[in-house]
Structure 1
Amino acid sequence: MLGKIAAGLGQGQYFISREGYSRQFLRLLGFVPFPGTLNVLLEEPNPMEQQAIRIEGFQEEGQSFGECKCYRIKLNGIEAAVVRPERSRYPADLIEVIA
């Protein structure tokens, strides 16, 4: 995958730091990510060829948080994952990376 760093909506920190997500990231991905995402605008849309890791949606403090799919990647040798939220406002060629 090739792409350029892109600006996001500034909400990654809020969502990634929710306990309902962080517990599942630890259990299913093996790490608790930094609270935020790295947004990358891909040069070409890249369908993930591996099996998605499903992160279930949940309720917290009266608010609903949606499901997302994660795909393991390595970014400069660091374990990371591409996160595809069910309720994303981003186009298919913009990915969010957690590590």
Structure 2
Amino acid sequence: MKRIKLLILLARRGAIGEKVKVTLRDLGDELGVSPQSVLRLLEDMEGEGFIEKSVEGKKTYVEISPNGLAFLEELCDAISGVLYNGVIIGEVISGIGEGAYYVRQYSQLIEEYLGFKPYPGTLNIRVIFPRTVFDALCGVRPVILPGFVKDGRTFGDVKAYRVRIGDAEGAIVIPSRTVHPPKIAEIVAPIYLREKLNLQDGSKITIKVVKS
């Protein structure tokens, strides 16, 4: 575990593609170990081919090797696969009052492409986990609601991702020109979710992305 933390620490310090100067004391302070322990870790990691190290006088320079970078990439993929598995934990918040208008405009398309007649409004969620809506939707193919022109006004494409909240179905909708930050998810559903699930502002909910 200390080796992984040290490798990540070196990456943060810019030891990718070039050697950077490090001090055993600084690294030890960040890891919570002695400088001697850091030296042993560096020597072990050099022996395993994860880093390349050189010493010039009293200065130590370290660069993460290609093997070390490949290890970090594999670690990142493994962690992402565990954490970003289509589960969103969020907090119910009030919207800005435009959800009902846009749901009415796209109602026919929602019924055609998603298979349900939407309740005229959206449930707005502030995402607590993962970091953004897009992290949870990464790798999931959306249903595209095509844009159209109505009364001289252009309505753009909307990406819809099927989700379930408990036993209720719905979809996260992301307009091509969204005004919401990636921490906010808008959900359309065939029912009034606040009433069905007894939700109010501040309620915590778990959303599961349905992967096709």
Give a deviation string over 1:20-68, Cα, whole Å, max 9, x none.
Answer: x212111111101101111000013142132110011111111111111
Identical residues among aligned pairs (%): 33
Aligned counterparts of 2:140 and 2:168: Cα–Cα separation in 1: 18
Q: Which has the higher helix share?
A: 2
Letter paired with 2:188: I
Q: Which residue of 1 aligns with 2:142?
A: 52
Q: Which residue of 2 aligns with 1:79?
A: 169
Aligned equivalent of 1:22, options 107, 128, 145: 107
Give a deviation string over 1:43-99, Cα, whole Å, max 9, x none.
Answer: 131421321100111111111111110000011211100000111111101000000
Q: Which runs of 4+ in 1 moved over 2 A?
A: none
Q: Which runs of 5+ in 1 are unaligned?
A: none
Q: Confirm whether residue 9 of structure 1 aligns to residue 96 of structure 2.
A: yes
Q: Which residue of 2 aligns with 1:88?
A: 178
Letter paired with 1:12: G
**RMSD of equivalent CA atoms:** 1.1
Q: Confirm whether residue 37 of structure 1 aligns to residue 127 of structure 2.
A: no
Q: Larger Cα Rg: Structure 1 or Structure 2? A: 2
Which gives a bigger RCO, structure 1 or 2 (Cα 8 Å, sep 6+)? 1
TM superposition score normalised by structure 1 = 0.91
TM superposition score normalised by structure 2 = 0.44
Q: Which runs of 5+ in 2 are unaligned?
A: 1-87, 190-212
Letter paired with 2:97: G
- Alignment length, in residue pairs? 97
Q: Confirm whether residue 66 of structure 1 aligns to residue 151 of structure 2.
A: no
